[in-house]
């Protein structure tokens, strides 16, 4: 008999080789295998007939193999494997590129019954029959009768195939496991099962892999059968309990309360050369209130590019310094760290605070001197890149940790920096707005503040979509802006010539603009391969207004703050992600002059997603709307980058698709973790989970 924790090599049909292949897919135990769900289901009780095929639709057909051949195209020496097959109603052709193994290993034979799945299209050579390129296929076993087969005559699960592991092999293994499984302990508390009418775990696993005949295909495709609903809820619930639990731990920590009286609160604003916005004032109040408590502040500050987060963070720094504490301020790039350092230096010029800059480019001697001052407490504010995380960076009394653009860092890095003090107050900032439903999961252990107001006198950036024929018009517009004394960014995706990608590389564009288009203007080039000294010099000249047009790669993305820059021209705009485009656009519109973002599309065809992104950017400047859209286009996996977010990778649920289940799961989880009477049931419940699950969802040590 198999248990959930049984290693896969004890499953019938798994030898050392297969165990190895499974491990490569992160499948180590019977449980892992069972939580590898099909990515689609196929109703094999009836197939589409060849004569009924709809061109362009994804379909499965059952046909008999007629002929196969391997051809090599004359021009590009491309090897194509060709197969023709038929059912009673007609002929189809299948083509594979780069799949000589099909030929060499004689995978197909005449007369075989095969299921092909893919998009059938009219054959471009006009033979009249439909063809499909690189279809999925499954060759039927002649020896096995359809009656009682797990591959035929029923709704069949189709798994993502991997090296050495065909969809069919996985189906077989999972079927074996399900029939030999001894006991499946329930993961969810009984009360919750009843309240939400959830299926029992064992039945849910069975039905999710091998749905009974009457299950509607749409429900399977939308992942809303009772069985799948139960597994989705289970995963989200465990995730939320983990999030809530970590929050509880954070709330139980004891740090150092700061003394912040009205006078200090005023001082913090007196540093500024302008009046803070109401949103900035509110957020600073929230932070001051946090830092007065012994429970360390754990706050996320969200706000669009340019809304003035850095300023607020520096005000909070002043409060810390006045309390005799040190501040660590970490930014994702050198350029950004330098800019913060520069800015802080100006703000605190008359306060007597010592502000240091630590990057990996620092000379050994300077570095040693800086760290010595830090350790002795003579340096109050240390700004830097991830260089701050180095083990020899030791503080005298670290009281406030600030992390800028936190989505660029992992959770572990945040904790590493925090561990350089005794439960310091912590502020993390991001200009990548996260829709609220998700931010509560992603940043569940943080309180959230939002700056939803821009400093006065800023007009929103006007955005235009341009193509190659409009280029000269764009250049005339730029020339005009330069004549008015404004500055311009021209952004390019890559530096060097790259024939494969066909991108207009920064260097060529730079030469062209400087030599031919704007011979009378001051044009400079900035890219990531410059030495940091050179980079600095280029940036400083631009910031000082000594450069008119800065051709750059994305190194400026989060770095530059030049109010006189009014035009951002983005080459090959369709190649960038939405969040990145939004950030880049945020480099202009920082002063009171009207600003413009020119999105130049490349000459080639644009993917539908690319077009969607550009349209979205043209339609709105609201970061939250853009984030929602980004999420919808890319899906949460890519949006967050699972590793970065600190969330376990989800196996069944999807945060976006399953938002409603997520809400319910969060309510139940919050109740379970926060409610005093249920503390006993919480620890009992956690004790009932396997250690693997406890670790996965961060529940180790509960109760």
Q: Report the interface residues with ligand ADP, using CB under 6 A.
A: 274, 276-277, 280, 303, 305-311, 431, 455, 561, 590
Closest contact distance (angstroms) between CB of 427 and Mg ion is 12
Closest contact distance (angstroms) between CB of 657 and Mg ion is 32
Residue 184, contacted partner among Mg ion, ligand ADP, none, CB below 5-8 A by kind: none
Closest contact distance (angstroms) between CB of 355 and Mg ion is 17
Residue 274, contacted partner among ligand ADP, Mg ion, none, CB below 5-8 A by kind: ligand ADP
Closest contact distance (angstroms) between CB of 430 and Mg ion is 9
Residues 6+ apart with CB under 8 A from 310: 340, 343, 404, 429
Residues 6+ apart with CB under 8 A from 373: 354, 356, 379
Closest contact distance (angstroms) between CB of 384 and ligand ADP is 17
Closest contact distance (angstroms) between CB of 540 and ligand ADP is 16
Which residue's C-beta sits nearest to Mg ion? 310
Closest contact distance (angstroms) between CB of 343 and ligand ADP is 7
- Span near Mg ion by CB under 5 A; candidates 302-310, 504-512, 626-634, 674-682: 302-310
Half-sphere exposure in the Cβ direction for 405 (13 Å, CA): 21
Nearer to ligand ADP, 201 or 590 (CB): 590
Task: Classify residue 545 as left (phi > 0), alpha (psi -120 to 50) or beta.
Answer: left
Residue 311, contacted partner among Mg ion, ligand ADP, none, CB below 5-8 A by kind: ligand ADP
- Alpha-carbon separation of residue 304 from 250, 454, 456, 631 (angstroms): 27, 8, 14, 17
β-partners of residue 83 are 68, 94
Residue 636, contacted partner among Mg ion, ligand ADP, none, CB below 5-8 A by kind: none
523: its two tokens: 């044009």
Residue 303, contacted partner among Mg ion, ligand ADP, none, CB below 5-8 A by kind: ligand ADP
Q: Strand, helix or coil at 598?
A: strand
Bridge-based pairing of strands 58-72 and 79-87 is antiparallel
Nearer to ligand ADP, 280 or 439 (CB): 280
Residue 433, contacted partner among ligand ADP, Mg ion, none, CB below 5-8 A by kind: none
Residue 572, contacted partner among Mg ion, ligand ADP, none, CB below 5-8 A by kind: none
Site map (CB under 5 A) of Mg ion, residues 503-542, x = contact: ----------------------------------------
Closest contact distance (angstroms) between CB of 491 and ligand ADP is 18
Q: DSSP string covering 118-170, please?
A: EEEEE-TT--SSEEEES-EEEE--TTS-STT-SSSSSEEEE---BTTB-HHHH
Q: Strand, helix or coil at 85?
A: strand
- The three state secondary structure string of 299-336 is EEEEECCCCCHHHHHHHHHHHHHHCCCEEEEECCCHHH
Nearer to Mg ion, 308 or 610 (CB): 308
317 touches Mg ion by CB under 5 A: no
- Span near Mg ion by CB under 5 A; candidates 130-138, 307-315, 389-397, 615-623: 307-315
430 touches Mg ion by CB under 5 A: no
310 touches Mg ion by CB under 5 A: yes
- Span near Mg ion by CB under 5 A; candidates 285-293, 310-318, 509-517, 567-575: 310-318
Residue 611 and residue 462 in contact, taking contact as beta carbons nearer than 8 Å: no
Q: If we measure between CA atoms, which residue out of 544, 578, 546, 551 comes closest to residue 567? A: 551
Residue pointed to by tokens 């590019």: 305
Closest contact distance (angstroms) between CB of 196 and ligand ADP is 41
Half-sphere exposure in the Cβ direction for 446 (13 Å, CA): 27
Which residues contribute to the site for Mg ion (CB under 5 A)? 310
């Amino acid at each position: 008999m198999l248990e959930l924790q049984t290693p896969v090599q004890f499953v019938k049909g798994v030898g050392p080789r297969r165990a190895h292949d499974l491990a490569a897919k992160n499948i180590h135990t019977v449980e892992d295998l069972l939580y590898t769900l099909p990515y689609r289901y196929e109703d094999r009780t009836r197939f589409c007939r060849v004569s009924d095929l709809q061109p362009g639709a994804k379909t499965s057909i059952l046909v008999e193999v007629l002929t196969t051949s391997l051809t090599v195209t004359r021009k590009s020496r491309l090897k194509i494997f060709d197969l023709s097959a038929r059912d009673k109603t007609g002929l189809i052709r299948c083509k594979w590129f780069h799949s000589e193994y099909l030929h060499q290993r004689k995978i197909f034979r005449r007369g075989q019954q095969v299921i092909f799945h893919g998009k059938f299209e009219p054959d471009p050579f006009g033979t009249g029959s439909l063809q499909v390129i690189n279809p999925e296929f499954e060759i039927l076993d002649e020896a096995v009768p359809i009656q009682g087969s797990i591959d035929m005559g029923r709704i069949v699960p189709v798994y993502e195939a991997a090296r050495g592991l065909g969809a069919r092999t996985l189906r077989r293994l999972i079927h074996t496991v399900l029939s030999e499984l001894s006991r499946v302990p329930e993961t969810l508390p009984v009360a919750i099962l009843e309240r939400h009418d959830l299926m029992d775990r064992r039945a849910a696993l069975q039905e999710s892999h091998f749905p009974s005949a009457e299950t509607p295909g749409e429900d399977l495709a939308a992942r809303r059968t009772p069985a799948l609903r139960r597994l989705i809820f289970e995963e989200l619930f465990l995730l939320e309990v983990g999030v809530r639990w970590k929050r509880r731990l954070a709330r139980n920590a004891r740090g150092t309360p700061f003394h912040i009286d009205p006078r200090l609160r005023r001082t913090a604003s007196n540093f500024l050369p302008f009046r803070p916005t109401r949103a900035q004032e509110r957020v600073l109040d929230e932070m001051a209130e946090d830092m007065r408590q012994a429970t360390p502040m754990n706050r996320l500050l969200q706000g669009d590019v340019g809304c003035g987060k850095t300023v607020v963070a520096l005000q909070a720094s002043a409060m810390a310094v006045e309390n005799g504490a040190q501040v660590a301020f970490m930014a994702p790039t050198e350029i950004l760290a330098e800019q913060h350092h520069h800015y802080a230096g100006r703000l605190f010029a008359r306060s007597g605070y010592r502000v240091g800059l630590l990057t990996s480019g620092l000379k050994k001697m300077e570095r040693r001197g800086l760290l010595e001052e830090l350790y002795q407490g003579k340096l109050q504010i240390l700004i830097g890149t991830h260089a701050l995380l180095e083990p020899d960076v030791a503080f005298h009394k670290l009281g406030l940790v600030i992390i800028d653009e936190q989505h660029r860092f992992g959770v572990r890095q945040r904790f590493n920096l925090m561990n350089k003090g005794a439960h310091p107050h912590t502020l993390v900032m991001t200009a990548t707005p996260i829709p609220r439903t998700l931010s509560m999961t992603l940043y569940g252990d943080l309180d959230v503040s939002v700056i939803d107001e821009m400093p006065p006198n800023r007009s929103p950036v006007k955005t235009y979509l341009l193509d190659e024929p409009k280029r000269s018009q764009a250049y005339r517009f730029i020339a005009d802006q330069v004549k008015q004394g404004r500055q311009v960014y021209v952004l390019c995706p890559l530096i060097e010539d790259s024939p494969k990608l066909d991108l207009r590389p920064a260097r060529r564009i730079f030469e062209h603009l400087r030599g031919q288009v704007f011979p009378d203007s001051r044009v400079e080039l900035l890219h990531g391969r410059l030495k940091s000294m050179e980079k600095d010099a280029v940036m400083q000249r631009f910031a000082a207004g000594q450069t008119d047009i800065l051709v750059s790669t994305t190194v400026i993305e989060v770095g530059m703050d030049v109010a006189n820059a009014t035009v951002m021209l983005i080459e090959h705009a369709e190649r960038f992600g939405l969040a990145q485009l939004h950030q880049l656009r945020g480099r202009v519109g920082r002063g009171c002059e009207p600003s413009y973002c020119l999105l130049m599309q490349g000459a080639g065809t644009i993917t539908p997603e690319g077009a969607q992104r550009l349209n979205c950017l043209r339609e709105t400047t609201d970061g939250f709307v853009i984030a929602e859209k980004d999420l919808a286009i890319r899906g949460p996996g890519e949006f967050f980058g699972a590793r970065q977010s600190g969330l376990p990778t989800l196996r069944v649920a999807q945060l976006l698709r399953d938002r409603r289940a997520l809400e319910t799961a969060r309510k139940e989880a919050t109740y379970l973790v926060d409610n005093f009477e249920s503390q006993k049931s919480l620890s009992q419940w956690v004790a009932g989970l396997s250690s693997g699950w406890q670790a996965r969802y961060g529940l180790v040590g509960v109760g």
